[in-house]
Amino acid sequence: MTRLLAWSALLLGCVFFALPLVGMTEFSMRMLREGYSFEAYRVVLVDERFQLTFSYSVLMALATIVVGMVLVVPTAYWVRLRLPAARPWIEFITLLPLVIPAIVIVFGYIRLYNTSSWLPLTGSTTGTNILLMFGYVTLSLPYMYRAVDTGLRTIDVATLTEAALSLGAGWVTILTRVILPNVLVAVLSGAFLTFAIVIGEFTMAALLDRPAFGPFMQLLGANRAYEPAALAVIAFGITWACMALIQLATRFSKHIQVQR
Amino acid sequence: MPEPRPGPLSRLNLNWLGLLPFALFALLFLILPTMKIVVGAFQTPDGNFTLDNIYGLNTESIVSSYWVSIQLSLITAFLGCLIGFAMAAAVILGKLPGKVRSGLMTFSGVASNFAGVPLAFAFLATLGPVGLVTIWLRNEFGINLRAMGFNLLSFWGLVVVYLFFQIPLMILMIAPALDGLKREWREAAEILGASASQYWRMVALPILFPALLGTFALLFANSFGAIATAFALTGPQLNIVPIKLYAQIRGDVLGNPHLGYALAFGMIVITALANGLYIWLRVRSERWLK
């Protein structure tokens, strides 16, 4: 009886989740009247704006991941090693981007860094790109920090640091050759999640007027019929791939731990 | 520590220096921008203190946008909790094979991150005017969704779309709490003669209550701040707070920049309340789940 109820609850849910995925896939292949085809994908993929905005967002995501790592890994390490008292405060700050909606944060950017301010980031293209990148670092901060901090919990930070210091290593060496390899799996999980968030982000990019993939999708959706469905399939594929890579990384780490 | 120990004061100072890059980043890209909004909400254009901006929110159009946003968030959070709980309970407590569980968790991870513009497209292709399900129902069963009053580009349409990321988020958040329900509790209740409904009503649900309510608050905040999905689905017309704020940032539609600050400040207050509730309740619920 319980099992029957359980199966039916699950099946009902699965139908709800499967339908939009089937719907978008089916719709994306209906562009030609004579039958199913990949015409919509072809049209999207050869579109110059797709190539430009997509590569822009990929670059943005990679920059976000690198800057986020450089910022989060040393900080989380240092807090664990020397400033455990600061941990609640740092954790609170890293959770703030979940509390303050992205649209409010970017509103603050626009007003704080406008052309007449002390730091006129929005005055130039490079400045706006940097601002958007830091906005993405902010958005990914909760996930990145938690991933890295969880990774650091599994290793003995103090002992590793002492051992490295007594062998004559400097702080940069410790971070890049001792700490980073040990938390690499955690960092990778954070990185893939960041990638999934940044690649299709709409609000910040649109309000800062940057040619990112999110605003391009929105624009195409307002004007075309079949291409948006193809874009949705592509975006879903990317999200899926990122999550699969996270699982793969986690499984890989378990493998290493067993061998040890 | 292997290095020589200097006096307590200088050592303290050096340690705090390690946080400087992070503190600078947080200040510049998180705290100062937010402060700018909060302070601006209480300022006249000349920089004097005023409450007029907050009072200024009390117009019919702004109040109704808050009301629609709050209703949308409450309903999607409630339905998300209900359905997500049923699915998570089915998989975790319903004696289903372990493969089903890990499959559902993985999918929830994907679906809770599949929000924004593409999600709107997926639903347009499914339940839109010429979507797969709409056409299928019309051709096979003669059911005309639109004639029955269902429109994807309306409030209830938005509810259905939001559930696509709210339910998976609920599943991810409630699974640890369901795992924490000890088998001994159920066995003890059964030995004492409790029926299944008594067990749920008097043992399981009271224990799960903080976790359930906390996740509800989180789902509320999650949908309150969301804009991309609604924007891609309905364009700038739908009267919810984030879309109103978007239009205000783009073109000062309210005709007063400081009213825009107040609008954003109101959003912060509401999501902060919801998240505060979530954190407080999570601390309470973790007492039971150790």
**Closest partner residue to A202 among B28, B107, B117, by Cβ?**
B117
Q: Are B67 and B241 in contact (CB under 8 A)?
A: no
Domain membership flag for residue A31:
no
Domain membership flag for residue B20:
no
Domain membership flag for residue B136:
yes
CA separation for the pair B37, B253 (Å, rounded): 17
Best mutation site among A7, A27, A73 for testing chain B: the one with the most B CBs within 10 Å? A27
CA separation for the pair A236, A82 (Å, rounded): 42
| Interior angle at CA A126, CA A121 and CA A128, nearest 5 | 45
Distances (CA, A) of B241 to A45, B119, B206, B264: 35, 20, 34, 9
Read off the pTM.
0.89
Report the domain count for chain B. 1
Report the domain count for chain A. 1
Q: What is the ipTM of this complex?
A: 0.87
DSSP for B230-273, please give it: HHHHHGGGS--HHHHHHHHHHH-TTS-HHHHHHHHHHHHHHHHH
Contacts of A184 (CB under 8 A, 6+ apart): none
Min CA distance, B60 vs chain A (Å)?
A: 22
Phi/psi zone of residue B280: left (φ > 0), alpha (ψ -120 to 50 degrees), beta? alpha
- The enclosing domain of B149 has a CATH number of 1.10.3720.10
Please answer yes or no on whether B28 and A137 come within 8 Å at the CB atom. no
Q: Residue A60 is part of which domain span?
A: 48-259
Domain membership flag for residue A40:
no
Q: Is A224 in a helix, a strand, or coil?
A: coil
Count the Cβ atoms, other than its own, within 10 Å of residue A14.
14
| Highest mean pLDDT pick, A85-89, B7-11, B24-28, B252-256 | B24-28
Q: Are A136 and A204 in contact (CB under 8 A)?
A: yes
Domain membership flag for residue B1:
no
Q: Considering only CB atoms, which chain B residues are within 8 Å of A162?
A: 1-2
Domain membership flag for residue B46:
no
Domain membership flag for residue A37:
no
Beta bridge partners of B43: B49
Domain membership flag for residue B214:
yes
Q: Cα A161 from chain centroid?
A: 30
DSSP B43: B
Q: Cα A42 from chain centroid?
A: 27
pLDDT tens figures, B62-104: 999 999 999 999 999 999 999 999 899 888 887 778 788 888 8
CA separation for the pair A19, A14 (Å, rounded): 8
Q: Considering only CB atoms, which chain B residues are within 8 Å of A22?
A: 126, 132
Residue of A nearest to B91 (CA): A6
Domain membership flag for residue B26:
no
Domain membership flag for residue B225:
yes
Q: Considering only CB atoms, which chain A residues are within 8 Å of B132?
A: 19, 22-23, 26-27
The pLDDT of residue B47 is above 50: yes
Best mutation site among B16, B30, B199 for testing chain A: the one with the most A CBs within 10 Å? B30
- The enclosing domain of A217 has a CATH number of 1.10.3720.10
Domain membership flag for residue A80:
yes
Domain membership flag for residue A163:
yes
pLDDT tens figures, A47-64: 999 999 999 999 999 999
Domain membership flag for residue B50:
no
CA separation for the pair A18, B162 (Å, rounded): 15
pLDDT tens figures, B180-235: 888 888 889 989 988 888 888 888 888 888 889 888 998 999 999 889 999 998 88
Tokens 């943005």 map to which residue? A60
Domain membership flag for residue A181:
yes
